[in-house]
Copies of this chain bind each other. A is one copy, B any other.
Amino acid sequence: MLVRDIAQALGAPLDGDGDIAVQRLVHPAQAESASDLALATSPQAAAALAETKASAVVVAAAAARPNRAFAAVIAVTEPRLALARLTALFDSGPPQQRGVHPTAVVAADAELGADISIGAYATIGPRSRIGAGTTIMPQVTVGAGATIGAHALIHSGVRIGHDCRLGDRVIVHGNAVIGADGFSFAPDLMSATAFTAAVTVQRVHSLGNVVIGDDVEIGACTTIDRATLESTRIGRGSKIDDHVHIGHNVTIGESCILCGMVGISGSVVIGNRVRLGGGVGVADHVRIGDQAVVAAGSGVASNVAAGAFVSGYPALPHQRTIEHQLYLGRQRRLHDRVNAMASRLEELERVMGGVVKK
């Protein structure tokens, strides 16, 4: 890639030689030759420019220019956006040959799009469909009747259950499980008040599926359970981190952010652009409105209004959780104060006894 083209892709001014060809995007300290482009938009990385072997660098427009001269300097105004664009430019994806590996077991009636890649020991079930340009890494299982869109990337060990549907450009990371059965019993044992030996537990089977929109990303070891009758749904553009659990019958809107280890119980409904911090738990049947934010580690036991920011266990409006923490920190003082007041009160009563007696 030429430095000129990179500057243009970033929409950023280039100072120097645009004809330098670069092959890797690196931290300045990692640069090994002039073919490495050094990214130095953070103060820590900028400090490392003093010793870098790179001759082409990307810096933050707002920061002081490097003390050293470089053959090419690109100055970006929005470093985080530049990071996204630069890493996209230099990402060629996991190395994986196109075509169907001879060891893959592909059902005769599976429909495969053009320019597909199916890795070693992948199994592609009957009546399934995989869109053009999609990459299936080794040892993935795609169940009967499942559908994957175009230009998707399914990493090794992912399990896509029968009849589940994934959109275009979906990325699923290693060992995620889409379409396991929901966790549902009759009677509903988490709410049953008397669960004695006399109660017979009956399994509610999962006849539905999972439907995932375009541009969704799903983390490693994440599980999304199928619905009882209908579909567990993840809306377009939502991003889901590793170890997230999404229960049966859940609906998640578009462009949501679910950080690592979030757990969503059955039948929860989440709006658009909702952000859940790491480790958040959401109780069953709860509704969370558009653009709500839940702080990391919170337990959401009741509905959250659109736009709200909640935190804590149980989750409350964030200001109230902060207030609770502050008051907890003031308890020693409060107790001391009440003790002192009690002494003064006693003294007054003692004196008053005298006064009254008078």
Residues of A within 8 A of B (CB): 24-27, 30, 39, 78, 80-81, 83-85, 87-88, 90-91, 94-95, 101, 103, 105, 119-121, 123, 125-126, 137-139, 141, 143-145, 155-157, 159, 161-162, 171, 173-175, 177, 180-181, 183, 185-190, 195-197, 199, 201-207, 217, 219-221, 223, 225, 228-230, 237, 239, 241-243, 245, 247, 255, 257, 259-261, 263, 265, 272-273, 275, 277-279, 281, 283, 291, 296-297, 299, 301, 312-314, 320, 323-325, 327-332, 334-335, 337-338, 341-342, 344-345, 348-349, 351-352, 355-356
Contact = CB atoms under 8 A, between A and B. Distances in A.
B263 A245 contact: no
B223 A219 contact: yes
Nearest to A81: B186
A338 B341 contact: yes
A80 B204 CA distance: 8
Contacts of A174: 159, 161, 177, 180, 223
A255 B334 CA distance: 43
A141 B157 contact: yes
Contact of A141 (B139, B183, B199): B139
- Among A39, A88, A94, A101, chain B packs the most CB atoms within 10 A around the CB of A94
A318 to B, nearest CB: 12
A220 B26 CA distance: 32
B260 A261 contact: no
B225 A125 contact: no
A141 B138 contact: yes
Given A175-B157, A273-B195, A348-B348, A281 B279 contact: yes
A36 B355 CA distance: 87
Contacts of A279: 263, 279, 281, 299
